[in-house]
Structure formats: C-alpha cells, structure tokens
A and B are shown apart, each in its own frame.
Chain A
Amino acid sequence: MISDTMTDARQLLLEKLWSQEPVLHAVPEEDLFRQLRREYLLKPVIFIGSGTCGLGAGAGKTLQAVQQYIMEKEIDADIVQVGCIGMCSAEPLLDVQLPGRNRLCFQKVTADKVNPLLDSVWNGEPVEADILGQFRGDSAGEWDSVPYLDEHPFFAHQTRVVLKNCGIIDPVSIKEYIAHGGYQSLLKVLHTCKPFEVCNKVEISGLRGRGGGGFPTGRKWKFANQTQADQKYLICNADEGDPGAFMDRAVIEGDPHRLIEGMAIAAYGIGASKGYVYIRAEYPLAIQRLRIAMTHARQYGLLGKDIAGTGFDFDIIIKMGAGAFVCGEETALMHSIEGKRGMPRPRPPFPAVSGLFGKPTVINNVETLANLPGLLEKGEEWFSSMGTATSKGTKVFALSGKISRTGLVEIPMGTKLRDIIYTIAGGVRNGKKFKAVQIGGPSGGCITEANLDIEIDYESLIRAGAMMGSGGLVVMDEDTCMVDVAKFFMDFIQRESCGKCIPCREGTRRMLEILESITSKPVNTGNQPLTRFRGIIQLEKLGKVIRETSLCGLGQTAPNPVLSTLRWFRDEYESHIYERKCPAGVCTDLRTFRIDVDKCTGCTVCSKKCPTGAIIGAKKTAHFIIEEKCIGCGSCEEACKFGAIFIRE
C-alpha cells in the first residue's frame, strides 16, 4: 500500500492549484507552499481576529475601517479574517505583515485607531503603544525594538498543539491548512496503518477524553473497533454547555479543518463511515465555518466516498443542539440526534456497543479529536512525553472572570495553577485579592489559594475537590460571594436537570431552595429561621445523596459546586446564616442601609425613591430607615447626593 501510489496531501494541493492556474507549474513547489504559509509575500496582508469574541469587541467595525483605508489609499493588500489567537482581553486584534518583514500583532485596535495605526506601519514606524509583539520569521524581516510575541508572558508558557493554527491561518482556506502540514496525518494513517493500529497508537499516547470524564480515548475506540456491525458512528461532541468554557468554539472558528481531519482519523480507527458534529446553535459562526471547511474537504476528496483513493468512506453531518446542558452527556446527546427528548439512559450497554440508532458509536469531544492530527504527525512517544504520569499531552483552558488577561491558553498537563493565573493571566484584575478559581463549570469545584501549587491533571484536581471538566477557569476575587456562586450553579443545574431521575430533579431543587433561604431577607415568621439554621447540615447530606444515587454525570456532579464551596468557605455560609450578613456585599437581600444623621439634610429624595416606603422623616430633618421594610435594593444610596446612606457593616 505504501510507496508510489501513496497520495500526499501536499501533492493533492499542488494538483488543485495547477488545475486552477496552469501558470503555477513554473513556480517551484516549495515557493508555493511558502507563499501559502505567508513566509514569503507578494503584497501586504492585514489579518483581523474575527472570532465571536473579536466581533464582540468590535472587529467588524475594524474590518470596515481597514477596507475603507486600503480603498482610499489605493493600496494593494490582502485582508484575512482569522480566528482567535486566544487573547480575548486584547481584542480586537489586528496583524499586519509587509513583504519581507515579520508579522506584527496589534492589540485593542478599534475602528478609530485603524487609520493612524496603518499609516504608522506603512511609514515603517509602528506605534509602539499598541504593539503586542512580532511573530518569528526571517531575521532579515525583524522589527527593531519590537518584542517577540512568543516571549509575551501570555504566550511564552504555552505549548500549542490544538490551537497551533488558531488566529494564524485563514480558517476557511483548506490550502493554507495543507500548506501548514494539514491532512498529512490522515493520509499517512490511511495509507500505512490498519484501523486497530491507529487505536493502539492513540492508546499508547495516553490521550484521554478532554470533555470532562478523562476516559482513555484509545481504549474507548478499541471497544467500538472490536464490535461487529454493519454501521458504526462517530459523534463529535461540540455541545459546549459548560458556562465558562469556549475552547471548542475557538477551535472550530479558527481551525475547522483540524477537527475534520481528527474526525476522519477517529472514524478510520473505529470503522465508522458516518460522523455527526453535535454543535450548539449558540455558535452560528463556528457552524458556518465548519460548513465551508467541509465543502472544501469534499472538493479535495478528503471527505466523502473513497477518501484519497484508499477506499475509506467517511462523511460528516452537522446537527445543531437545541440548548440543553444535559445533552453533553453521551446517551442524552444520542437521544437528541435521534429526535427525542435529550434524556440520559442507564449504562450498560455502553455506546461503543449499542449507541446511536442502536449501532456502535464513539463520542469524542472537539479538543480530543483536534489533538489527533498533531499526535499522529509527531508520534505517540512525543505526545506522551508531555504531561504527568497519568495525564498526557496538553490541555486548553479558558480563562475568564476577574483576571487581567482573559482568553484561551494551551499548556502541558502538569503546569501549576498558580503559573496560569499569575504568570500567564497576569493575576487578579485591579489589584484585588485572589479568592478562588472555579474549574470545571457546574460539575466542578473551587480551588483556593492553598491549592494553587498543585500540578494540573485529572487526578490532582479531583483530589482538590474540583474536576477538569472541559477546562473553564473562572477566577474570583474578594468581591465575589461564594454562596452566591453556589446558588448560581444550583439554579443552573436545577433548570437543566432533565427530570428523569428523582435525586437530581428533586434534590437540586431543594438545595437551591436552601441556598435561596439563606441569602434572602430573614423573616422571623413561620419555619424560616429553622430552615436557615438547618441549611448547612441539610446541604451536605442532600449533596451526598444526589451524588451517589443520580442516573447520569449531570446529577452525580451536580452538588459539587455547593460541596466544594462549603468545604473551603464554610465561614461565608455561616455568616450568611448566623450573622445574616454577606461578607462580600453581593447578596442584596442581606444588605441593610443606614442613614448618617450628620450628613443627611432631609431633602426627602431618598424617601421618594424608596420602593417600599421604608424611609421616614420630616422635611429638613434627618431621615431614618425602617429595617423590616428595607429590601436592600440600594436605590436610596444611588439617589443620595450627600453620601449619607451607607451599608451597615
């Protein structure tokens, strides 16, 4: 099978290029690839980071300004809309590359900055304040006194395997992807390996599922590989429901071909001829780019019937999720594809034996699949050389919350959490004090200062009371109330619980009620004081029952946010219950306002604003707040011009 007949992805690309433009025959092959990789330019290129995050920060307007600029000045330049390089807090990002010079990356380029910025680049003296850095390139093209982007603290500690091309290449250009080495792994695998060997390689590499569970990917494939059936399926789980995680979106928006290649490799390994991408409807841009990429891959014969003449058939269907968190669970996801309510079912039978439409099915997360091209290109030994004893390779984390630099980072497993938060992300915003980092979304937990030095892998996080989940890191500072965070997650979970099993359906609802009662305004009637006091004991008990008796992963992990905050921040719960105070001042119902009699002029503005008539007092005399009537809304504080109203300590 090897040797002369073997199709090379680059050869495929060359044939396409030659058939489109016969004149290119005259250009040396390597030059063509260098041009496609933009190592050698014929005209200037302007790159605009146009992921959902970039567009949110105003990249659309920046793009218009750039188009107008090059039209007015009659400059012949290419404009490329790239995905997200990961540094969301510096968006909109704009890169400029002039022929013979290194690519420059500028941050926070809003539309109004475009003209002076491009002027300065064309004059050869780019505005230093806006530069994030320059990319590596020929030493001849180096910009003096401009730091290299890969030396920036945000990038210096990263190892980019999955995100290698994100923000660098044009996501909808298959040519660029191939020129950067894309589809080589797929063709190598198809030509030189038997399916079982692929499963073996992946198992040896130590790759584990990146969607949360961390099940060894190779072993999962082997189950499906060994099950005999006329039809098998591969499902890519892109139903990134964890609030706080957005790596799957970024990968699909920035490098969709990597996912397609990864899926084709996985499908070959397990013997599937049909694949589904189950993707959230909330990601319209990702869906659009994936569709375009799939069309291109079909045109190149890299998707569809008889891929690259090897006799292997594989095609992909996109299924849009309809907004249900539980559909991240594999059996629920399959029900959803089948057109049913997305409810989980008990396992066994496992999907690898009986899954979608009763056929053997493997479900892998986007990041897992996007790891495959790199893994098979450089080999399983290379992959397993990164990481810790039990967790190999790299992991993408989504940094958000109250930190200086937010965005996506890819780091080798085993990196310390402290390094991510303080070195890469630049520490807590506005000089506030770090309180905790929430990891793993609604199934995960909190890590406090004391545990920041653990080396990240699947096991160490579980020991610390959290879990990897899909890798969302939300940083919280001293102004965040942990009871409020727990309540937020509980509210989310109880809404998203599918209602099939009782512990999850009823238990999460009860837990939320307890949390609501301890954060709401205390009433000294009925049995409310009693429920408040019983709160902590019941929360713990209930949590354990739900964890042990629920049907699926959603229920089994549902109490985690509460149990973990209870473990590390018991004092906060206690002050909510016993002292009826929210130390962070977040729970508005527990705020009580006072009026400083010395400052109050008796202007009556506050009493007119008060929605419950809790403020009394005659005109021109100091006013008074009736505590029982006050709901802590704070509108009096906003209205007071004399700063006489304050929160009681």
Chain B
Amino acid sequence: MKPGIAEVLEIHEKGKRDSLIPILQEIQEKEGYLSEEAVVEVGKHLDIPSSRIYGVATFYNQFRFQPTGRYHIQVCRGTACHVLGSATVLEHLEKLLHIKAGQTTRDGLFSIEIVACIGACGLAPVINVGGEFHAQVDAARVAEIIDEYRKREETI
C-alpha cells in the first residue's frame, strides 16, 4: 500500500461509512488522484465493496482517477464567467496547452479542469492555477499566465 493511503486510513482508523468521502478527499489531496489501489484499499478498510466506493467517487465532480499536472488549472464556468467570455478563455487554454479539459500535458506540468463556480463572480472570468487565483482573464492574459508558470518552472 502506498504510504499516503496508509497514512489517511490510519487517521480514520475507526471510520465508518460517513468517513468515506473525507477519506477519499484526503487521499486525493495527498496523491493527487484516486488510484485503483486506493479505491480497493478504502473498500477493505471500511468493509464496503469497491464497486460501491467507485460509485460514490464517480458521482462527485471533485474526484479524479488520473494524476493531474504540477499546475492544476481550474477554469470557472459559472454564469458570470460565461457571460464575460470564459468559453473563449477555455478554448485558448486548450489550444495553448494542446490538451482538452480533463487532460494533462505530456510534460506533466499542466492539467485543465472545468469547475462550476469558484465564487469570485465579481471578477469574472476567473481561473485558479495551483491555488492561485487570476481574475478578469482573457485570451491574451491566459498566454501570459501560462508563460509565468513555465518560467517559474525553469528557474526551479
């Protein structure tokens, strides 16, 4: 068992059914995604068939079954963002990184996810790159932002 998974299961040693979602969330926080191993191990731990765990995990948008890039980009597709052109932002981002939403770039640097609403509607359109929020973005700004992160990566 991966140490990350074991660690989470240890915290929830006496966990019951209602700990399922927190466990999955914490594993994803640590591992970046839910692997097959994680689903099976959680099933053994809580004594629930892994099919049912998978059923719960696929129901919620938050859970991913593939690793994300180092900079995970969340594109807000809320109403305010949509009205102010988030569709174009997403399109440019996809063009720029040569991936579609839900995928990860080959160098493992970026991945794109569509989220319903980040809650910063006053500053729409908004994207969140690895926890940093960027407000009022447009196609040109997206290119700058990606460049910034690429540069940051080179300097490390």
Contact = CB atoms under 8 A, between A and B. Distances in A.
Interface string B59-92: 1111100000000000001111111100000000
Contacts, number: 151
B122 interface: yes
B59 A342 contact: yes
Given A322-B63, A323-B61, A338 B18 contact: yes
A320 B135 CA distance: 25
Interface stretch (A196-204, A281-289, A459-467): A281-289
B51 interface: no
Interface stretch (A243-251, A376-384, A447-455, A563-571): A243-251
B126 interface: yes
Contacts of B101: none
B119 interface: yes
A242 B117 contact: yes
B59 A56 contact: no
Nearest to B20: A339
Nearest to A92: B135
B131 interface: yes
B96 interface: no
Contacts of A60: 132
A102 to B, nearest CB: 26
A503 interface: no
A365 to B, nearest CB: 15
A53 B136 CA distance: 11
Interface string A485-505: 100110010001010000000
Interface residues of B, number: 41
B151 interface: no
B123 A243 contact: no
B121 to A, nearest CB: 4
Contacts of B61: 322-324
A507 interface: no
User: Which of B19, B82, B122 counts the most A-chain CB atoms under 10 A from its CB?
Assistant: B122
B21 A56 contact: no
Nearest to B26: A320
Nearest to B127: A56
A52 B122 contact: no
B145 interface: no
A489 B116 CA distance: 11
B117 to A, nearest CB: 4
A57 B83 contact: no
A391 interface: no
B79 A406 contact: no
A282 B119 contact: yes
B21 A322 contact: yes
B84 A402 contact: yes
Interface string A345-360: 0000000000001000
Contacts of A245: 117, 119, 121
22 contacts: A52-B133, A89-B123, A240-B117, A240-B119, A243-B78, A243-B81, A243-B121, A245-B119, A249-B119, A282-B115, A282-B116, A319-B21, A319-B22, A320-B25, A323-B61, A324-B60, A337-B18, A400-B121, A401-B84, A441-B79, A474-B121, A498-B59
Interface of A: 52-53, 55-58, 60, 88-89, 91, 240-246, 249, 280-284, 319-325, 336-342, 357, 398-402, 406-408, 438, 441, 472, 474, 476, 480, 485, 488-489, 492, 496, 498
Given A243-B81, A282-B116, 5 more contacts: A56-B123, A240-B117, A338-B17, A340-B17, A341-B59
